[in-house]
């Protein structure tokens, strides 16, 4: 059976949940990955009746849901909180904006998200972790001895108890490895895993778009963390083959600007080699959904979401269950 192709609803929160599900169905998707913002999935309301209503809504339109996503609240767990967070967090999480209060309320919300995921009947929660040390990524002035270690210790202290709740409820957390998070490439992902003691509930939401333009081997990531790939985002990115005005760090230039070295693209229109990804996912026996996170500032999103679904469904294929040249052996040949 082919893997289900789903659409992450995070970039569509201006639409109601039912409208989004209807649109995803019309685009050709098998299901949706529900974002925990807008009315798509509201953790604060997620009692048994609410979750049953969501399941009924999905069933009404013949759609699946394998994961929910809490990127926005997750970001606040470890971040250095400032006024930017007020625009992405629920008022009951941001509160008066006191940084430690925000972080603690966000952590409690993530724990509740694991319980809500169990009630809904999904096994994976995707999201961000935030990071207290992202601002130290370029080490000048030189980082002081212990500063980076302290950041990973902070991550482990905050996320370890959260992961215990996930484990108790049979839910996996999938960190989308991404700039501004505690893990943003292979080296930092290994360090995060080590910091949290390889907690069995902690893993990754694999998204190649955040690796390619950094120069990170996005296929090797799959093999390196084969037992930790809890979910997969299919998202594309293009990067320049020549020097340009705004480099890898973006030059404080908005997306979809010709000055940029890199930019997100509709799936299949960037520089990511998705066939290599499918083959690697087959090699590690990943059976979960391929969830399209659609972002392309130069394309109509409905056109792009439908095109991306078609691209991924045409590209995905099951692994072989035979050795192709074994049939040279006459003992295997039909008579």
Residue 205: CATH number of its domain: 3.20.20.150
Beta bridge partners of 237: 264
In 10 A of CB 13, how many CB atoms?
16
**Is the whole model's pTM more than 0.85, yes or no?**
yes
Q: What pLDDT tens digit does each residue of the chain (335 aa) get?
A: 689 999 999 999 999 999 999 999 999 999 999 999 999 999 999 999 999 999 999 999 999 999 999 999 999 999 999 999 999 999 999 999 999 999 999 999 999 999 999 999 999 999 999 999 999 999 999 999 999 999 999 999 999 999 999 999 999 999 999 999 999 999 999 999 999 999 999 999 999 999 999 999 999 999 999 999 999 999 999 999 999 999 999 999 999 999 999 999 999 999 999 999 999 999 999 999 999 999 999 999 999 999 999 999 999 998 888 766 666 666 777 76
| DSSP state, residue 167 | H
Query: Per 3-state DSSP, what percentage of the chain is helix, strand, and coil (rounded to 5)?
Result: 45, 15, 40
Domains of the chain: total: 1
Query: How crowded is the C-beta side of 148, counted as CA atoms within 13 Å?
Result: 11
Domain range spanning residue 40? 5-332
């Amino acid at each position: 059976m082919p893997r289900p192709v789903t659409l992450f609803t995070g970039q569509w929160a201006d639409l109601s949940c039912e409208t989004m599900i209807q649109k995803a169905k019309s685009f050709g998707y098998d299901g949706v990955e529900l974002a925990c913002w807008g009315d798509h999935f509201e953790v604060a309301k997620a009692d048994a009746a609410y979750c049953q209503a969501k399941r009924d809504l999905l069933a009404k339109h013949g759609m699946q849901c394998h994961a929910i996503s809490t990127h926005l609240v997750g970001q606040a767990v470890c971040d250095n909180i400032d006024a930017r967070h007020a625009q992405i967090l629920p008022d009951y999480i941001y509160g008066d904006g006191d940084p430690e209060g925000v972080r603690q309320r966000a952590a409690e919300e993530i724990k509740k998200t694991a319980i809500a995921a169990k009630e809904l009947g999904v096994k994976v929660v995707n999201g961000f972790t935030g990071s207290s040390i992202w601002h130290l990524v370029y080490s000048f002035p030189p980082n002081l001895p212990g500063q980076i270690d302290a950041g990973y210790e902070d991550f482990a202290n905050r996320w370890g108890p959260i992961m215990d709740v996930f484990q108790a409820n049979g839910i996996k957390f999938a960190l989308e490895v991404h700039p501004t998070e505690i893990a943003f490439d292979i080296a930092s992902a290994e360090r995060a895993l080590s910091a949290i003691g390889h907690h069995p509930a902690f893993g990754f939401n694999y998204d190649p778009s955040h690796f390619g333009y950094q120069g990170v081997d996005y296929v090797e990531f799959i093999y390196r963390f084969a037992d930790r790939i809890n979910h997969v985002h299919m998202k594309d990115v293009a990067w320049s083959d020549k020097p340009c005005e705004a480099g890898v760090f973006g030059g404080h230039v908005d997306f979809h600007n010709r000055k940029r070295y890199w930019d997100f693209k509709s799936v299949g229109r960037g520089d990511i080699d998705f066939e290599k990804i499918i083959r690697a996912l087959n090699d590690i026996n990943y059976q979960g959904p391929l969830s399209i996170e659609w972002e392309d500032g130069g394309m109509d999103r409905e056109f792009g979401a439908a095109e991306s679904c078609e691209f991924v469904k045409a590209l995905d294929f099951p692994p072989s269950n035979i050795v192709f040249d074994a049939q040279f052996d006459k003992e295997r040949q039909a008579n």
